[in-house]
Structure 1
Amino acid sequence: MMPRRHQVAARLFIAGALWLGISQAHAQAQYQLEKVVELSRHGIRPPTPGNRKDIEAATHRAWTTWTTADGELTGHGYAAVANKGRWEGDHYRQLGLLTNGCPQPQDIYVRASPLQRTRATAQALVDGAFPGCGVEIHRVKGEDDPLFQTEAFPETNTDPAKQLAAVNATAGDLAARQQALQPAVQALRNAVCTPDADCSFFEKQWQIKQSKSGKAYVDGLSVLANMVETLRLGWNENLPLSQLAWGNITTASQITAVLPLLTANYDLSNDVLYTAQKRGSILLNAMLQGAEQGVGKTTGPTPDTRWLLLVAHDTNIAMVRTLMNFSWTLSGYTRGNIPPGSSLVFERWRDTRSGERFLHVYFQGQSLDDLRNLQVINQQHPLLREEWRQNDCRVTEVGTLCPMNSALHALGRNLDRSAITPVSYDK
C-alpha cells in the first residue's frame, strides 16, 4: 500500500492538475473567435512576361524557363498554398470558427483577382481547408476587379502629377539610397552576370520616371527588384541550383542578402501613402467592413461570413498595410517583405465574460526554406507571424487583442473616402 504521505501528495498532485486543466479551459473559453477576414498573396509563379523581358535585357542572357507559363501558379506553388489552407482549416476548426465537414454558405466566401495565379491560389487554399467540397471561387467578369486592379478605374487611379510629387518626396536623396544599397546590388550582379557580359545596367544611376500611363517608378531599381523577386520565387519553387542564378545561389541567406532591393522598390511604389490612399482604400475599407459585419453599425455589401478570404497580389497587400501604418520583418526576410502565399489577417474575437469585441491583426507567411521544401505547417514549423498593435491592446493566450472600435478607427484613419466606390458581390 502507498504510504500516507505519498497518498496525500498524489491527491494534491491530481487536484492541482485538475485545477490547472480547468483554469486553462476556462481561460481559453474567455475569448471566442467570431470572424476572419484574410487578404492573401498568390503562390509561387515564374516571372511575368514583362518582367522576363526586362531582366533578360539588363543581363543580356536568357533566364530559366519554368514548367508553367510565365506569371502562372506552379504545381509546387499550388502544393505550398494547399499546405497553408489545410493548416488554416484545421486551426479554425479547433478554435470553433468552423465545423467538421464541408462548409455552409455562411462559413466562407472566397473572392479572387481575375488572373490565373490568384484564382488557382484561391482553389489551392480551399482544397487544403475543405478537401473535396468544391468551394466556389468568386471573381468578376473580365480582367479588372475594382478591389484589386484599381489602376484600371478612374476613381481609384492616381493623378500622375500628384503621384510623381509623392514619390519624389518619399525618395529624398535617391543617390544616397542607391549608394547605401550597393552591397545588395553587387551581390545580385555577382549572381546573375557573367564576367564577359555587358552588365553596365547595375551601375546605372537611378532616376524617378513616369510611364505613358502616368505611373511613377524608379528607373534602374525596379528592374533589379524584378530580378530579386524572380530569384526568390525560383528558390521557393525548388528549382535545381544549376537553374537558379546559374548555380551562383545555393543558400537561402544569399536570397536574404539581395531582398533589400525589393524593399527599396516597395518603399518608392506601392508603399507611398498617396498611391496607397488612391488605390488601396477600397480594399482596406472592404476588409474593415468585413471585420465589423454583423455586429457594428456597418451594413455594407461585404459578405457576412465567418471567413472572408480575398486572394490578390503583393501590390494590394503593400498598399493596404501602408494605409494601416503596419510593417513587419519576418525571420529570413527584409522589412515589409510579402512572400508568396502569405497573408494579412483580421480576426474578430469576443470576450464571453464582458461581451466586448476585439481585433487580432497580423501578417503571416512561411520561411524561404519551408516554401522550398513544401514543409507541412505544424508546431515544429509554424507560420512566421508579426502582430499589429497599439497602446490599448492586450496580450492574451489567443494573441494581441485590440478593442474593436478603437482598432477600426486607427486602421481606417488614412482611408481616402473619395476613392471608395461601391463594390458588388455575387452571393
Structure 2
Amino acid sequence: MYKFFSAVVLFAGLTAFFSQPVQADYVLEKVVEVSRHGVRPPSPDNRRAIENGSARRWPDWLTADGNLTGHGYTAAWLKGRYESSYYREAGLLGEGCPKERDFHLIASPMQRTRATAQVLAEAAFPGCDIAAHVMAASLFQLPNEKVSQEQAATHRQEALRAMGGSLADAQRRLQPQIDALKKAVCQPARPCPVFSQPWQLATWSNGTVGIQGLDTLAAMAETLRLEWSENKPLSEVAFGKVNNQAELAALLPLLSAKYDYTNDLPTLASRGASGLMSQIASALRAGATGERATDAPPDVRWLLYVAHDINIAWLRTLLDFRWQQADYPHGNIPPGGSLVFERWRYKGERFIRIYFQAQSLAQLRELTPLDKQHPPLLTELTFPGCRQMAPGTLCPWQAAMQRIEKHIAPL
C-alpha cells in the first residue's frame, strides 16, 4: 500500500540522527505514545457539512474521503523512521526486528488510523511485518451511555465558561477570523449559509458538546490545512486564495476555538479519555512499581497508540498541558502529531518526560526528512519540581504520576 514514493525522499538526510547519545547515567526505560493519524481528505461527514455550509462543491481527492493518503503515508514514514532512530540512539531499542518486550502497536478501528499505524511500524522496523492490534472504538470515544441531565448541564456550563460566558460574545470576538475564512471559501455575491447564522450550543445524549456554526467553520479550516499538508497546488488550496504558509496559518484559528469550547472541557475530557489515560498510567508503572492492572496493556519498551486529535485533546486537558508551535494556532494537533510519555531512570531515581511533537506545516507539505538538524516541533510539559536535564524536561516520578492519574474517572 502506498509504496510508490521515492527512495531518495525517504532516505535522504536520515544518517545524521542524534550522533551524541544521552550520557550513560540516563536510562530511557519506556515510551508510551499517542499519535494522531496522518494526512487525509475531509471525512464524509465533514465534506457534507462544509459543502452545505458554503453552498459549493469542494475539491475531490485521489483518496477516498477520510482515508490516509499516499502523501500522508510518506509523512508518517518519515516520522516513524525519525522516532525509531532516536530510540535506538537512546538505548531503548536494539537493531533489527523488535523482540516481544520491545514494541506493541495499537490502533483505533478506522482506516486512517490502522494505515498510519502500519506505516509507522514499517518505518521503525523495516521488513519485520509487525501487525497493529486494533482496539475497540470505545477506547477512543465517549461512552455511548446516555448521560444524566446534571452531567449534560455540567458539560454545557464548562463550554460556556471556556468561551467567557456567552456564545454570542465569543462569535463576535472571533469575527475577524470568521471574515478571513469567509473570504477564502465563499464565492462572491453567492450564498454562503454558515457565515450568516448565529452559533448554537448543543449537547447530545452521550455528553458530546457541539456548536452549530463553529463546528462547520472548524471543519473548513481543517480541510484547508489538510489541502496544504497534502502538497496540493496553491491553485487548489483554499480555492486558490492562499499564496504562502503565513496566509494559510491565518485561516486556522477557528480550529483552536473549537478545541477550546467543545473538547478541552475537564469533565468531558475525563469521561472521554479516562480509559486511555488509565492504560497509559498502567504502562508507565509496569516494571517500576510491581503493580499490574488486570486490563493493563502489554509491558513493552515502546507502546504506540494511533488514534485521533480528539483523544490527544482530551488527554492534554487532563494533564493541563498547553502548547503553541510555530505557525500553528495554539493547541493545534496536526496530522501525525503525538503526545509522548517517556520514563527515565537517573542515578536510582525515576522521572517522567511528557511532550507534544508534530511536523511543521512546511515539513508535512514538503516531506522534509527529519533528523537532528531538522527535528519536528516539540513542546515539553513542565510544572513545579520538573528540571531541565540532559534528556529534556524531567519531572519527578511521583508528582508526574499524580498529575497523569489525577482526573481518571472510575471505570
Give the letter aligned to residue 226 of structure 2.
Answer: L
Structure-2 residue corresponding to 1:194: 187
2:217 counterpart residue number = 224
1:160 paired residue number:
152
1:314 and 2:309 aligned = yes
Instruction: Give the AA of the match of 1:285.
Output: S
Runs (4 or more) in structure 1 with deviation over 4 Å come to: 153-156, 211-214
Aligned to 2:292: 299
Shift of residue 50, structure 1, vs aligned partner: 0.7
Partner SS for 1:146:
helix
Q: Judge conservation of contact 1:271–1:318 (CA < 8 Å) in 2.
A: yes
Match of 1:150 among 142, 150, 157: 142
Which structure 2 segments of 5+ residues have no match?
Answer: 1-19
Decide which moves more: 202-211 or 189-198.
202-211
- Determine which of 341, 350, 357 is the counterpart of 1:346: 341
C-alpha deviations, 1:22-72, integer Å up to 9, x for none?
A: xx98x7112110000000000000001011001001111100100111000
1:169 partner letter:
R
Q: Does the Cα contact within 8 Å between 1:85 and 1:129 map onto a contact in 2?
A: yes
| Alpha-carbon distance in 1 for matches of 2:271, 2:48 | 29
Report the TM-score when normalising by structure 1: 0.87
One-letter amino acid of the counterpart of residue 230, structure 1: T
Q: Which has the larger radius of gyration?
A: 1
Does the CA contact (< 8 Å) of 1:42 and 1:121 recur in 2? yes
* Correspondences of 1:163-182 after superposition (within 5 Å): 163-171=155-163, 172-182=165-175
The corresponding residue for 1:215 is 208
Give the match's secondary structure for 2:355: strand
1:155 is displaced (CA, Å) by 9.1
Q: 1:400 to 1:214 in 2, by over 3 A?
A: closer
Deviation of 1:216 (Å): 2.4
- Offset of residue 285 of structure 1: 1.5
> What are the superposed Cα offsets for residues 220-278 of structure 1, whole Å, 9 maximum, x if unpaired?
11100000000001100011222222211121112211221010101111111111011
Q: Which residue of 2 aligns with 1:132?
A: 127
- Equivalent residue for 2:41? 46
Query: Does 2:50 align with 1:58?
Result: no
Choose the corresponding residue for 1:84, options 71, 74, 79: 79
* AA of the residue aligned to 1:283: L
Output the amino acid matched with 2:219.
N
Among 348, 371, 378, the residue aligned to 2:371: 378
The match for 1:403 is: 396
Count of paired positions: 389
SS in 2 for 1:29: coil
Q: Percent identity?
A: 46
Q: Deviations over 1:301-323 (max 9, x none)?
A: 22100000000000000001000
RMSD after superposition: 2.0
Residue aligned with 2:80, SS = helix
CA distance in 2, matches of 1:194, 1:350: 58
Change (3 A) 1:282 1:214: closer
2:382 corresponds, among 383, 386, 389, to 389
**Is 2:114 aligned against 1:122?**
no
**TM-score, normalisation: structure 2:** 0.90
- Aligned partner letter, 1:170: A
SS state of the match for residue 205, structure 1? coil
Contact 1:347 1:359 in 2 (8 A): yes
In 2, the alpha carbon distance for the partners of 1:299 and 1:211 equals 36
299-308 or 252-261, which deviates more: 252-261
